[in-house]
């Protein structure tokens, strides 16, 4: 079988853990939808029926390449991913700047079919391939005083029209609390639909945190820093009353300018009626991370 992964792992090297998680997610989705928990029931299946490759790669948010949904597909070909390196620094035992292949060498690549819910109230379902972020962090050796993980996207002004125009304060930065970063649902995705990550989706490696609004899932990562204090994050910095640091999908906490109770599923043609948004985007297993927190205040 041809090697499809930049780190030379094939799908056969992946552990069955991803399939297990997918099955659990289908069950979680079915339960949340009140369908009695049977994965075979139509509603639950619809919920995790992946969008087409075409839809996933032509309707994007990647402001470095423009603010229109079609701009990344049009402009991201210019992203230079050759000799990509990722710097791992801060409170780790093994800091360094690693070629991507070295960063992920030997780590299990799994398929994860996840819902992606954008803060703009649209959603799709994406069959990612990726590595648990935990595996990368474990190898880095997280030190006991680290409490957050900060991420940074590449800045290539010559290749990125949105950077040249200054549509946001670049580099795009994001962050997670350490326990969120270590959760088994959190992946560093290197591909989708068994293809290397398309540039408009964040080649060659991007974060995917399926229970949070899509803006947390930062693309084309060049730096991962373990830090003690909650790091600055792009959208929260820009409009703190509109975009929280946590950004957990929550149908009961509206965006100040629109409702988050429902979402428009991209694609789906005739039957693309709005669907109810699920707490934690249906990934109820993360609820324990937020016990005791006021989710209206810490949105």
Q: Which residues bind ligand MTE (CB under 6 A)?
A: 60-64, 116, 118, 153, 172, 201-202, 214-215, 217-219
69 appears as a binding residue in the annotation: no
For the purposes of burial, counting CB atoms within 10 Å of the CB of 184, is it exposed (0-12), middle (13-18) or buried (19 or more)?
A: middle
| Smallest distance, ligand MTE to C-beta of residue 120, A | 7
Q: From CA 173, how far away is CA 237, in angstroms rounded?
A: 10
206 appears as a binding residue in the annotation: yes
112 appears as a binding residue in the annotation: no
Q: For ligand MTE, which is the closer residue by CB, 148 or 243? A: 243
212 appears as a binding residue in the annotation: no
DSSP letter at 7 equals T
| Smallest distance, ligand MTE to C-beta of residue 214, A | 3
| Smallest distance, ligand MTE to C-beta of residue 62, A | 5
281 appears as a binding residue in the annotation: no
Sheet of 173-177, strand order: 96-99, 85-90, 221-227, 148-153, 173-177
Q: For ligand MTE, which is the closer residue by CB, 194 or 228? A: 194
Q: For ligand MTE, which is the closer residue by CB, 148 or 215? A: 215
Q: For ligand MTE, which is the closer residue by CB, 22 or 123? A: 123
Q: From CA 183, how far away is CA 280, in angstroms rounded?
A: 14
3-state DSSP helix/strand/coil % of the chain, to nearest 5: 30, 25, 45
State which residue has the least CB distance to ligand MTE. Answer: 214
CB count, 10 Å around CB of 77? Answer: 12
75 appears as a binding residue in the annotation: no
| Smallest distance, ligand MTE to C-beta of residue 35, A | 26
Q: From CA 260, how far away is CA 276, in angstroms rounded?
A: 9
| Smallest distance, ligand MTE to C-beta of residue 238, A | 11
Q: From CA 248, how far away is CA 281, in angstroms rounded?
A: 8
HSE at residue 75, side-chain half, CA atoms within 13 A, is 22
Q: For ligand MTE, which is the closer residue by CB, 47 or 160? A: 160
118 appears as a binding residue in the annotation: yes
Instruction: Give the angle 70-72-78 at the CA atoms, nearest 5°.
Output: 140
Binding-site entries: 60, 63-64, 118, 153, 201, 206, 217-219
Binding-site entries for Mo-molybdopterin: 60, 63-64, 118, 153, 201, 206, 217-219
């Amino acid at each position: 079988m041809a090697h499809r992964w930049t780190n030379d792992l094939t799908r056969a090297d992946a552990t069955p853990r991803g399939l297990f998680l997918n099955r659990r997610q289908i069950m979680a989705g079915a339960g949340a939808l009140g369908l009695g928990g049977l994965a075979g029931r139509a509603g639950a299946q619809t919920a995790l029926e992946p969008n087409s490759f075409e839809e996933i790669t032509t309707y994007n948010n990647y402001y470095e390449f423009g603010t229109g949904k079609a701009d990344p597909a049009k402009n991201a070909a210019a992203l230079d991913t050759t000799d990509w390196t990722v710097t791992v620094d801060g409170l780790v035992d093994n800091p360094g700047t690693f070629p991507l292949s070295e960063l992920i060498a030997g780590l299990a690549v799994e398929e994860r079919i996840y819902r992606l819910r954008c803060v703009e109230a649209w959603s799709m379902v994406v069959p990612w391939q990726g590595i648990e972020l935990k595996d990368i962090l474990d190898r880095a050796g997280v030190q006991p005083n680290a409490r957050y993980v900060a991420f940074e996207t590449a800045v290539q002004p010559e290749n990125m029209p949105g950077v040249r125009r200054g549509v946001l304060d670049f580099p795009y930065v994001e962050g997670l609390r350490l326990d969120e970063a270590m959760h088994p649902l959190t992946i560093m995705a290197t591909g989708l639909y068994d293809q290397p990550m398309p540039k408009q989706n964040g080649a060659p490696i991007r974060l995917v945190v399926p229970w949070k609004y899509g803006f947390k899932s930062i693309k084309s990562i060049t730096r991962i820093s373990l830090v003690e204090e909650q790091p600055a994050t792009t959208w929260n910095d820009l409009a703190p009353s509109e975009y929280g640091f946590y950004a957990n999908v929550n149908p009961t906490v509206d965006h100040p300018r629109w409702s988050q109770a429902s979402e428009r599923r991209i694609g789906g043609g005739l039957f693309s009626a709005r669907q109810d948004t699920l707490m934690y985007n249906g990934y109820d297993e993360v609820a324990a991370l937020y016990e005791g927190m006021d989710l209206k205040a810490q949105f």
